Structure 1
Amino acid sequence: MMRQVMKAGLALVLMGAGVVSADDQVDLDMVTKIREEGFRRSHVMETLQHLTDEIGPRLTGSPAMRLANDWTRDKFTEWGLKDARLEGFEFGPGWTPVRSEIHLTSPRAEQLYGLPIAWHPGTEGKMDGEIVVAPMKSAKDFDKYKGKLKGKIVLVDAVPEQKEPSNKVFTRLDDKALQDEASYNLPSSPQADLDSWIDHVAFGYEREAFLQAEGAVAMVSRSRRPGNLIDASGYQYKQGMLPKLPAVSLAAEDYGMLVRLSEADDKRPVTISLDVAVTYHNEDMKSYSTLADIPGKAKNAEVVMAGAHLDSWRVGDGAVDNGAGTAVVMEAARILKALGVQPKRTIRFALWGGEEQGYYGSQRYVIDHLADRPTNVEGKLKYLTPYEQQFGRFPISFKPGYEKFSVYFNLDNGSGKIRGIYTEGNAKAAAIFGKWFAPFHDLGAETITMNETGGTDHEPFDDIGLPGFQFIQEPLDYGTRTHHTQIDTLENAYEDDLKQAAVIMATFLYEAAMRDERFPRKPMPVMEGDKKDEKAEE
């Protein structure tokens, strides 16, 4: 999951019995078959184990990511899907860490725990240096550190005020928790959420330039989670803009100790050593998504899609973010092929690349097959991805696939089972989903919300007026421990949850593929000026 931005909470939507047409009555015979295949003959953990134990971390552009692309394509073919293929997008160099050793050398000797930040260079051997603590939140902080950083290893984050930790590390949503989230929240501005993200990514480039100009030799950031959990995500990956300074993310506890030593009354210098080796991969500056189809039987068949992102960060094995979603989507494909379904619409499965850096794969699919929008690379947007560069821009140029597209379902909030779905304000969709979830109330899946959610690959579809949905999942320890950390491993994925999710995903795809009508859409997005004109005309 690229970034955990929740646009709104959960809300239960109760629909009258007469809202849904006979077209949306669930095929209970098929549900029975899907449950039997998915619960008794599941391959979901076998798939996930191969992705994590055999292939491992799948950073966009890396050899491991390409290996995952090839393996998933071949597995789809083995299961009998058609036209299993890779679709590429321009990205830039891959990156793989080789070695990382960090030590406190003065005032005492001690090993420190940290990992290299993605796409930063290595140290080319052991680097020794004095630290300086220079917390910077924005470019406004630069002036106070001018002339003070030359030859220094710079600690760039402040240490927050100490608070008592929460004991709620692992959570499942009980009835009360769901009810607490039941009220509808008026949507916030999507542009405001995006502006915050743009500022965050752009500041990384701005800070790097400042540190270079001041003669700093390396950068150390504070990992955002306690308990020696390391998040070493990095977003300075664009060709021609790669960082020049070695950088590591240090465990919060070790980072705090360095800050306290630097503030001691005796003013002794605090020195550390870094020995970091990395490899850049420039052989193919593209990265890829994996796609495969169960062809529809109708003439000029429309398309129903399911997707999850295949890429991960480098510190863990990418099991819960998002090997879990990938394994569920693949298992849904396997189940439907094993049952020999003959859908009216083509069911397309997509395992996206580049989600962690900003929806590269899903946005490229939208541009190539569905719709394109003008691109803006002015100012800070030059640091961002095609999604941010095109978000909210008009006019929208539609491709032939736009009218043939029916619906897209995404899974990317960890390894927890499905509890419901966000309908992105689509009331007709809420009514339909109420019917489709009915056979799964015994599995805890029944919460339907009119609210929106963000941070997953459904957004490029929703933002051009197409039905794109992310499921509500059990949180487990996704937000507290595993998200983007080194313990994103197979031990933190749960088989029963993934089986349940795969069965529901397969059912939703089947029902959507067999509807008489294309899935209902919301009104097309319009420019703010168009909205004002409409009010004036009224």
Structure 2
Amino acid sequence: MRHLLASLTLATVIAIPAFAAEPEPVDFDMVNRIRDEGFNHSQVMETLEYMTDVIGPRLTGSPALRRANDWTRDKFSEWGLKNAHLEGFEFGRGWSFSKSVVRMVAPREAQLYALPLSWHPGTNGVIRGEAIKAIIKSEKDFEKFKGKLKGKIVLLSDGGKPSIPDKPLFRRLSAEELAKREAFRIPDDEPDRSDRFAKIFHFQPKLYAFLKEEGALAVVRRSPRDAALIEASAYMHKTGESPDIPAVAMSSEDYRRLLRLIEHEQTVELEMEVVARYYDDDPKAYNTIAEIPGRGRNPQVVMAGAHLDSWFVGDGAVDNGVGSAIVMEAARILSALKVKPRRTIRFALWGGEEQGLYGSAAYVQNHFGTRPPPADEEKAKLPSFFWFSDTYPVTTKPEHEKLSVYFNIDNGSGRIRGIYGEGNAAAAPIFERWFTPFHDLAAETITLNKTGGTDHLYFQWVGLPAYQFIQDPLDYGARLHHTQIDTFDHVQAKDAKQAAVILASFLYHAAMREERFPRTPLPHK
């Protein structure tokens, strides 16, 4: 980063030597107060513990997420924030499960480890049937299995290859890794990924209709992870589009055993009981919004956000309960210090992130700007996440001018090590100054590279400054992300406190700047 900043500074001096810019101001007295409140009086882990242990997993549309919405709204109000409220967006059905038991009963008895796929029905009691391997990847494969699936439990996945662990499960970013992230990657002309997702999206209903017509009892898929870690994420949440057949994701080790037995011409029988239910009383899901008001009648706004929703197999602690707790803790710190910011500091806890950034997408389009749907009707049926950045023009709304900057937290519980600058060269020297009080906390890396996959994207896609922090990976990707062991035990308390303190300081300084945060050009063809 020092090389990047030196280059930027030299370019500025050469271009306008008589008007060298003053360094970005840092209020070190306020930083001291934020550090004291955040390190010596923290509530971040108490907030997270209630969210994960008491409320539990927060699948979008479920009663649990709505309880979390209500609880976080009330907590913001309790801490003295203003205008705490919920904003709804169209989503579809809610879903939850309370029981999942899968056993092999022939050629021998064995307990199998499996969890239901989200938005799939229960079994309505215990069902029993022969397991059959049926790799069906397109409509062309239907003919091969016609008349063969009645009364069967269908194994839809291949076995994959067992993984060989060759890296530490838990790790922090090294100096070398951080240096690599600083180096700017010049964008390539990336291929359109939406075509592949469109095929999967449109094929799933046809697959389940075929299985139902053929009389299949249930579906089993292999979890994409090894070591008995189960991911059971499915996406058919729209009203009227739910599958008619129960389905589970099974541990890879158990699943491969079943395939080996079948390949050796053993008759494999399974027994399954899944209790699941849908919730159709409200097709909307919700974002929680609260703020610390700025000065004047119509001040500009700075924002911080994290997604409150989670998947359902664990408790959603590192993804992304801790991110929500960090955002809430930053709000609590600033409110406890009775700050009087120039700009309003707004906090958002998003719903629907896991299914395609639904909550932040709706908020951005309702408040800041839109982009037209694609001309291709099939592509337009996809969630907007797959096409929103590719259509033009961007149409802005009045609030677009008022938003100064947005910060997002969604990479697990690892401490903040820096920030992705999203190609904004003017932001780099500002971030460098704001990180100055936190070099002792290992936070100083700034890269102009972009990062994706989370809720800052829609802000960026309508031309607003929006940023995700660089965080230590810990064991987030290695074993926690979207699995049943995503629980409170795996959150690092000191790291969460560090992140909340840095976020609170960034928000304060963004809210107090003389000028609105610098922007890159509005996206255009």
Q: Does 1:79 align with 2:79?
A: yes
Helix, strand or coil at the partner of 1:22? coil
Paired letter, 2:243: P
- Residue 215 of structure 1 deviates from its aligned partner by 3.1
Structure 1 residues 516 and 177: CA distance shift in structure 2, 3 A: same
Q: Which moved more, 1:137-146 or 1:360-369?
A: 137-146
Give the unaligned 5+ runs of structure 2.
13-19
For 1:26, the equivalent position in structure 2 comes to 26
Helix, strand or coil at the partner of 1:278? strand
TM-score (norm. length: structure 2): 0.94
Paired letter, 1:220: V
Structure 1 residues 188 and 323: CA distance shift in structure 2, 3 A: farther
Helix, strand or coil at the partner of 2:148? coil
The correspondence of residues 15-94 of structure 1 with structure 2, limited to 5 A, is 15=6, 16-17=8-9, 21-22=21-22, 24-94=24-94
For 1:288, the equivalent position in structure 2 comes to 286
For 1:214, the equivalent position in structure 2 comes to 214
- Residue 200 of structure 1 deviates from its aligned partner by 4.3
The correspondence of residues 157-168 of structure 1 with structure 2, limited to 5 A, is 157-168=157-168
Paired letter, 2:285: S
- Do the aligned residues in 2 keep the contact of 1:90 with 1:285 (CA within 8 Å)? yes
For 1:343, the equivalent position in structure 2 comes to 341
For 2:15, the equivalent position in structure 1 comes to none
Paired letter, 1:55: I
Paired letter, 2:130: E
Structure 1 residues 314 and 424: CA distance shift in structure 2, 3 A: same
Q: Which moved more, 1:465-474 or 1:200-209?
A: 200-209
Tell me which of 496, 517, 520 is aligned to 1:519: 517
Paired letter, 2:86: L
Give the unaligned 5+ runs of structure 1.
1-9, 528-538
- The CA distance in 2 between the partners of 1:439 and 1:220, in whole Å, is 52
- Do the aligned residues in 1 keep the contact of 2:128 with 2:270 (CA within 8 Å)? yes
- Residue 432 of structure 1 deviates from its aligned partner by 1.3
Helix, strand or coil at the partner of 1:115? strand
- Do the aligned residues in 2 keep the contact of 1:13 with 1:450 (CA within 8 Å)? no
- Do the aligned residues in 2 keep the contact of 1:458 with 1:469 (CA within 8 Å)? yes
For 1:150, the equivalent position in structure 2 comes to 150
- Residue 310 of structure 1 deviates from its aligned partner by 0.3
Structure 1 residues 142 and 516: CA distance shift in structure 2, 3 A: farther
Helix, strand or coil at the partner of 2:506? helix
Q: Which moved more, 1:175-184 or 1:285-294?
A: 175-184
- The CA distance in 2 between the partners of 1:14 and 1:415, in whole Å, is 28
- Do the aligned residues in 2 keep the contact of 1:202 with 1:383 (CA within 8 Å)? no
Paired letter, 2:485: I
The correspondence of residues 54-453 of structure 1 with structure 2, limited to 5 A, is 54-139=54-139, 141-189=141-189, 192-264=192-264, 267-376=265-374, 380-381=378-379, 384-388=382-386, 390-453=388-451
- The CA distance in 2 between the partners of 1:196 and 1:211, in whole Å, is 22
- Residue 387 of structure 1 deviates from its aligned partner by 3.7
Q: Which moved more, 1:207-216 or 1:342-351?
A: 207-216
- Residue 189 of structure 1 deviates from its aligned partner by 4.9
Q: Does 1:14 align with 2:5?
A: yes
Helix, strand or coil at the partner of 2:426? helix
Cα RMSD of the aligned pairs, angstroms, is 2.1
Structure 1 residues 138 and 366: CA distance shift in structure 2, 3 A: same
- The CA distance in 2 between the partners of 1:489 and 1:59, in whole Å, is 15
Q: Which moved more, 1:181-190 or 1:298-307?
A: 181-190
Q: Does 1:457 align with 2:455?
A: yes
1:289-344 deviation per Cα after TM superposition (whole angstroms, max 9, x unaligned)? 00001111144211100000000011000100000100000000001011111111
1:69-126 deviation per Cα after TM superposition (whole angstroms, max 9, x unaligned)? 0000000000000000000001111001021110101101111110000000011111
User: Which one has more relative contact order, counting CA pairs under 8 Å at least 6 apart?
Assistant: 1
Structure 1 residues 21 and 355: CA distance shift in structure 2, 3 A: farther
Paired letter, 2:107: P
- The CA distance in 2 between the partners of 1:258 and 1:132, in whole Å, is 9
- Do the aligned residues in 2 keep the contact of 1:12 with 1:448 (CA within 8 Å)? no
Paired letter, 2:248: V
1:111-146 deviation per Cα after TM superposition (whole angstroms, max 9, x unaligned)? 111000000001111111111112344555445444
- Residue 21 of structure 1 deviates from its aligned partner by 4.1
Structure 1 residues 21 and 27: CA distance shift in structure 2, 3 A: farther
- Do the aligned residues in 1 keep the contact of 2:342 with 2:511 (CA within 8 Å)? yes
- Residue 217 of structure 1 deviates from its aligned partner by 2.1
- Do the aligned residues in 1 keep the contact of 2:44 with 2:329 (CA within 8 Å)? yes
Paired letter, 2:356: G
Q: Which moved more, 1:195-204 or 1:154-163?
A: 195-204
- Do the aligned residues in 2 keep the contact of 1:82 with 1:293 (CA within 8 Å)? yes
Structure 1 residues 422 and 196: CA distance shift in structure 2, 3 A: farther
- Residue 400 of structure 1 deviates from its aligned partner by 1.2
For 1:530, the equivalent position in structure 2 comes to none
Aligned residue pairs: how many?
A: 516
- Residue 390 of structure 1 deviates from its aligned partner by 3.6
Helix, strand or coil at the partner of 2:427? helix
For 1:532, the equivalent position in structure 2 comes to none
- The CA distance in 1 between the partners of 2:202 and 2:319, in whole Å, is 24
Q: Which moved more, 1:166-175 or 1:449-458?
A: 166-175
For 2:16, the equivalent position in structure 1 comes to none
